[in-house]
């Protein structure tokens, strides 16, 4: 009897710490990106693939720049920047970085000056995200190659701004930190609410995995909400081992930050690296076919770098019989569409 009472008290304490964490997360962000995003069915795609019931969560429709997953993470970082009185925001990424562009858009929305350190050569033509960066009048610096020198350069810029009376705030590459993981934890809650409304349950969620924050947030969300949905990531550059380690570290770091007694091991993270193929951002025949198939069947556009590769994984897993016919599988559309136009030469001939 005593053991039973003790166990149920422990259970209810754990549950209340989980609910408290979700409340704390809601309090630590500013809302500028227009949630909830739509949840839509993809019946024609499902039929063509002979697959499970397919849904798409339209985070390509977040209300920032041209949409995308970074909006959810940036609601946390910009809350912090605002609290600290920042008036300049410095960030980095590749020349076509979705994240850097969204940082610049968020900065403008909050009346701050965006400064971007973009890794790569300045191109002759400003296009895709870089064109949007230009329209946002971001101060752009081009720098050669990734490495610690990029962070050093951002710090030097920040010091110069400080000396000139500004209050700069640095946002790390990909905006994936334990403090931004809650962006996708709350996205999971949003998704669960949408499924509750239509009287269905989620069996699987599929997403692209880059710096890991999106998948980490979704896993953390599933754990906090006690839902059994399995979150499957398609790594776009890291090996399976590296990606699963990064995702687990982000989940555990965020759990610690929000006082939740929870931790996962990398082996629990379901992430595939089989779809990177020729490398990050390299368009291949499977990605082109996936982009066309989703556009032709559902009128939805994917990007070649992230969501295209995640869709190739989803199609492959369906073909391999990974899912049951009556499973509900949600494809998280994480955006990235401005970069689509950078692939015009190859895609235009497909």
Ligand X SMILES: Cc1ncc(COP(=O)(O)O)c(C=O)c1O
- Report, as residue numbers or ranges, the catalytic residues: 97
Among 168, 182, 304, 335, binds ligand X (CB under 6 A): 335
Interaction between residue 281 and ligand X (CB under 6 A): no
Segment contacting ligand X by CB under 6 A, of 117-125, 192-200, 277-285, 329-337:
329-337
Residues of span 175-204 touching ligand X by CB under 6 A? 176
161/209 with CB nearer ligand X: 209
Interaction between residue 306 and ligand X (CB under 6 A): yes
178/336 with CB nearer ligand X: 336
Interaction between residue 214 and ligand X (CB under 6 A): yes
Interaction between residue 213 and ligand X (CB under 6 A): yes
Among 51, 52, 68, 308, binds ligand X (CB under 6 A): 68
Phi first, then psi, for residue 41 (nearest 5°) are -90, 150
Q: Are 54 and 307 in contact (CB under 8 A)?
A: no
68/168 with CB nearer ligand X: 68
Q: How far is CA 98 from CA 2, 6, 68, 93, 149, in A?
A: 55, 49, 8, 8, 21
Q: Total residues contacting ligand X (rule CB under 6 A)?
A: 18
Among 69, 129, 252, 288, binds ligand X (CB under 6 A): 69
51/183 with CB nearer ligand X: 183
Interaction between residue 174 and ligand X (CB under 6 A): yes
Task: At 309, list the tokens.
Answer: 């590769």
Residues at the site binding ligand X, with contacts judged by CB under 6 A: 68-69, 98-99, 174, 176, 208-214, 303, 306, 334-336
């Amino acid at each position: 009897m005593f053991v039973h009472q003790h166990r149920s008290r422990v259970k209810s304490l754990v549950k209340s710490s989980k609910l408290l964490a979700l409340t704390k997360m809601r309090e630590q962000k500013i809302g500028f990106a227009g949630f909830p995003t739509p949840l839509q069915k993809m019946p024609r795609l499902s039929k063509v693939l002979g697959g499970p019931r397919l849904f798409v969560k339209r985070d390509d429709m977040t209300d920032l720049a041209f949409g995308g997953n970074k909006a959810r993470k940036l609601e946390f970082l910009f809350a912090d920047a605002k609290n600290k009185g920042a008036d300049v925001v410095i960030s980095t990424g590749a020349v076509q970085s979705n994240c850097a562009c969204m940082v610049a858009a968020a900065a403008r929305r909050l009346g701050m000056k965006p400064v971007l350190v973009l890794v790569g050569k300045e191109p002759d033509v400003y296009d895709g995200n870089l064109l949007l960066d230009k329209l946002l009048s971001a101060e752009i610096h081009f720098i050669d190659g990734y490495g610690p020198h990029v962070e050093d350069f951002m710090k030097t810029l920040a010091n110069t701004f400080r000396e000139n009376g500004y209050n700069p705030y640095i946002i790390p590459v990909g905006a994936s930190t334990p403090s931004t993981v809650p962006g996708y934890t709350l996205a999971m809650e949003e998704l669960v609410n949408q499924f509750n409304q239509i009287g269905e349950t989620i069996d699987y969620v599929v997403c692209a995995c880059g710096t890991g924050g999106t998948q980490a947030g979704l896993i953390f969300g599933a754990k906090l909400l006690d839902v059994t949905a399995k979150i499957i990531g398609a790594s776009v550059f890291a090996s399976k081992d590296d990606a699963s380690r990064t995702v687990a570290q982000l989940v555990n770091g965020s759990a610690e930050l929000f006082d939740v007694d929870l931790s996962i091991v990398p082996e629990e993270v379901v992430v595939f690296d089989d779809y990177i193929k020729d490398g990050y951002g390299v368009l291949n025949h499977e990605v082109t076919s996936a982009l066309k198939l989703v556009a032709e069947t559902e009128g939805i556009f994917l990007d070649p770098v992230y969501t295209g590769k995640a869709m190739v994984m989803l199609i492959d897993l369906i073909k391999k019989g990974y899912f049951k016919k009556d499973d509900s599988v949600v494809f998280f559309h994480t955006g990235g569409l401005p970069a689509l136009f950078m692939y015009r030469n190859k895609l235009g001939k497909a």
